[in-house]
Amino acid sequence: MALADRYLTLHRDVHSGEVLARGGDPEAHSILQRTGFVPVVRVHEHYHRLPTGLDEAEEERLAVRAAARLRAVKYGVDCDEAFDTGQREAHHLPLGASVAHQAERIRQATTTEEVADALTEFTASHDGVLAALDDVLTATAEFYQGLGGAADAATAGRLRYLAESRLDVIRSDLAHVRAELADRHEAHPQRSVQRRSRTGRAGSLRRLRLPATATDHHHAQPAARSSGPRRTAALTPTPEEPMHHPTPDTPDLASFAIALAEELPGRWTSEHHTHEQYLDQFARAEHVWDLDLIAHAIAQHVLEQDAVLTRDDGTRLYVIARPRSGEEFLVGAIAPEGIDPEAFRNVREPDGIAVPDDPVQAAEDIATDLLPRYDKALAQVRDNADRLAPTPAPELVVITLSGRDFHVTKPERADAVQILTDNGCVYDKDQDVFVLPGEDTAAQAQAIQNAAAQLDRLGIGVSVRLPQAKPALDTAAVAAPAPAAPSTARSR
């Protein structure tokens, strides 16, 4: 784990006023979420924020508690003065830790009975983990159904679909695996040998180990150095977990991708690529719109090959063989290019899915699950992009008084030209303007008002300019004539 992952910032954003937490590793993110923070996942960044609608006192209370919890497990937290605290909260193992313990039991297991026993905690029909998860999905669906919002029923339906179609498949398959292992009564051939070997070496070392002295250090041989490229520990295969290379049992990704392209609705093309070196897998996967299964596979495994499916409208899908599985593939969407990264803010990634080595079934899963979520996310991104785009200056029509006539600049839009014509304007080709005659000034004023109102509804501005009166050159102002004297004549 990099040292930078043990450091977080916790500040109130000066622009939005939100309390934001940035940095940290998955454990820190879990602590933030358990303190009330909401993860914000974008293509180009990942951070946490407090929920909207909280008053400032509640925000400060939660931020102080988050800092206390993080520092209690030795995270460095740079925070606002209002959030700084000397308190430390006790760190208790969460519910997920007991589930993760079963995974560790399976990793250490040497017999089929040990793995079957661990899997029982998940597949037990009454109180197993998967049965409880089914209950959680159902209860959440019922809650959403009662909210009564326009989209709440759709969310409830989605949750029921996950419980009935997705979770049931996992539970059924895992129960079958558990039953099959319980009947085998076999020792794992590799792990049994490794455990005996490790036990034997440990016993020998305990018998031969002597107290260390200065002489021992002088005669110690330096560890051999590798001349190959340096990789992080998470991506470097260990002796107990060797790097896998393609074998006859490895799924044929190229053929699967071609068949999948033929089964998907619409017109798709497939492009298969083999990675000559490890770093090649990141170039094509840079814009994969996923922070779940596929992101984990890219970061933690050597993939060696991938495929990209492209629809005629530009939609792209990324396909890889699922690591450690000989019968499944992972399919995810690729984020659209050429859009301001800010448009992806607060848009949830349409995470990829695992599909079987069956192009027909895989195409159905993609069409009913992945693509609808991709279309929804893409619509939100495009809407955000439209809001971020600068608003173009509206077209402006200038009306200028010339003598007794009004001259109107010619608009670009045909519907605006029609409005001027309908209100009595006549186009003058020589001056390239519309002319509104001034024989009837009252009708002229009414025509200008009507045209301005109709142009405004089209989003076209109107500017009326009157020329300033100026005296003629080399002339003196003429005085107004004196009023005539009242007449003294008598009327008859």
DSSP string for residues in 372-408: HHHHHHHHHHHHHHHHHSPPPPPPEEEEEEETTEEEE
pLDDT of residue 9: 94
pLDDT of residue 199: 45
pLDDT at residue 98, rounded to an integer: 78
Tokens of 194: 């490794």
What residues in the chain have per-residue pLDDT under 70?
1-4, 90-93, 192-251, 391-393, 466-492
Determine the pLDDT at residue 210: 34
Q: How far is CA 391 from CA 379, 388, 456, 464, in A?
A: 20, 9, 17, 24
Query: Any idea of the CA torsion for 239, 240, 246, 251, to the nearest 10 degrees?
Result: -160
**Euclidean distance between CA atoms 67 and 75, whole angstroms:** 9
Predicted confidence at residue 78, as pLDDT, reads 92
Here the tokens at position 314 are 């530009």
- Residues 288, 295 contacting (CB under 8 angstroms): yes
In three-state secondary structure terms, 462 is strand
Residues 294 and 233: their CA atoms lie apart, in Å, by 19
**pLDDT for residue 371:** 93
* Amino acid identity at 35: T
pLDDT of residue 193: 56
Q: Which residues, including other chains, have CB under 8 Å from residue 299's CB and lie 6 or more apart?
A: 234, 235
